[in-house]
Amino acid sequence: MAGRVAWTERLFSLQIEEPEIRFIAGQFASLALPAPEGSVEPMVARPYSFVNAPGNVPSSAPHEFLITEVPQGTLSPRLACLREGDDIWIGSAYGFFVCDEVPAAPVLWMMATGTGIAPFLSMLRTDEPWQKFGRVVLVHGVRWAEELVYPDIIVAVQRERGGRFFYAPFVSREAVDCGAVNRERENHPCFSGRITAALASGKLEKAVGHVIDKEMAQVMLCGNPAMVEEVQGLLGERGMRRHRKRAPGQITVEAYW
Ligand SMILES: Cc1cc2nc3c(=O)[nH]c(=O)nc-3n(C[C@H](O)[C@H](O)[C@H](O)COP(=O)(O)OP(=O)(O)OC[C@H]3O[C@@H](n4cnc5c(N)ncnc54)[C@H](O)[C@@H]3O)c2cc1C
Ligand SMILES: NC(=O)c1ccc[n+]([C@@H]2O[C@H](COP(=O)([O-])OP(=O)(O)OC[C@H]3O[C@@H](n4cnc5c(N)ncnc54)[C@H](OP(=O)(O)O)[C@@H]3O)[C@@H](O)[C@H]2O)c1
């Protein structure tokens, strides 16, 4: 393993050098460690989304994964203990949660909870969303403000894409100090509470200045399965539905558990 970044006690990023692995922004790979003695399978593996963009610049840069330690989990507490130089196994890239699977629209809404922001951080640093969508809104819901990760990437995307990029952070378990959030980033609306509440009340769309409806929006959802379900329910009330190749819609999802 090439490196580790600690965001909080339970939230960290792992950097892994494996230049042979090619992927599309939004995909995941399995990370694995040897299984405990006596296990049926030789390895314990779980999927994790790439944070880095494909074709890293410089190309020698490692792959990066943002991981939360699930306290009772099998693999994530062991990943949390890894340090630079430790062995870790990585499988091939896989998955359909990619821009190419989403129909073009005036506005793409990327909605994430927790580590579900990872695939969006990768996509935002490719050209594809900017060629396919007029504007992109990144909505990120976390429990605590310190979990609003990767401010440097968000600032870089905003500087590169100007008024075409919006970032809407949500903090649910403490009052959000918008001034502090924006000292690191640049002049974004901040929300206290859950994404679902601000979607139901219309507060989110009002702050961003775009409506979420069938004509204007495509929505990608990633992270907590309850959030993914509830947002689909709220958008369903507006006549929006899951996108399938044979039955086009407006919602594309990746539930993490
Ligand atoms: C496509 C895909 C991409 C993923 N990408 C990421 C990623 O980038 N970063 C990341 O941290 N995780 C990601 N996950 C989740 C990850 O694969 C593991 O499920 C997670 O790390 C827990 O593994 P574990 O072995 O520690 O827990 P397990 O022993 O497998 O799970 C224990 C229980 O914890 C719950 N659980 C699992 N994951 C979570 C979670 N993240 N938060 C809360 N409860 C959970 C489930 O109820 C599960 O039954 C992804 C999952 C999928 C399907
Ligand atoms: N983050 C921590 O401080 C912490 C500490 C210890 C352990 N963990 C463990 O880490 C794992 C992941 O935690 P996490 O904090 O990254 O992810 P999470 O529990 O999914 O929370 C991330 C954000 O999603 C919100 N959310 C949850 N359900 C939702 C729903 N139905 N609709 C809309 N929003 C919803 C949460 O709001 P709410 O706050 O209102 O739930 C929070 O703002 C869990 O297993 C957890 O036990 C986390």
Asked if pLDDT for residue 240 goes beyond 60, the answer is yes
For ligand 2, say whether the CB of 192 is within 6 Å of any of its atoms: no
Is-contact 48 67, C-beta < 8 A? yes
- pLDDT of amino acid 184: 62
Alpha-carbon distance 12 to 31, whole Å? 14
For ligand 1, say whether the CB of 108 is within 6 Å of any of its atoms: no
Q: How confident is the model at residue 55 (pLDDT cuts 50, 70, 90)?
A: confident
- pLDDT of amino acid 8: 98
CA of 105 to the centre of ligand 1 (A): 31
CA of 210 to the centre of ligand 1 (A): 32
Q: List pLDDT tens digits, range 69-126.
A: 999 999 999 999 999 999 999 999 999 999 999 999 999 999 999 999 999 999 999 9
Is-cis flag, bond preceding 151, omega within 30? Answer: no
Average pLDDT over residues 242-248: 95
Domain ranges of the chain: 3-94, 99-255
Token pair belonging to 189: 């609306």
Architecture label for domain 3-94? Beta Barrel (2.40)
Q: List pLDDT tens digits, range 179-213.
A: 676 666 666 788 999 999 999 999 999 999 999 99
Query: 99-255 in CATH: which number?
Result: 3.40.50.80
Which pTM value belongs to this model?
Answer: 0.96
For ligand 2, say whether the CB of 144 is within 6 Å of any of its atoms: yes
Burial of 88 (0-12, 13-18, 19+ CB in 10 A): middle
For ligand 2, say whether the CB of 232 is within 6 Å of any of its atoms: no
- pLDDT of amino acid 189: 81
Ligand 1 atom, smallest distance to 115 CA: 9
Q: Which amino acid is at 16?
A: I
Q: How confident is the model at residue 221 (pLDDT cuts 50, 70, 90)?
A: very high
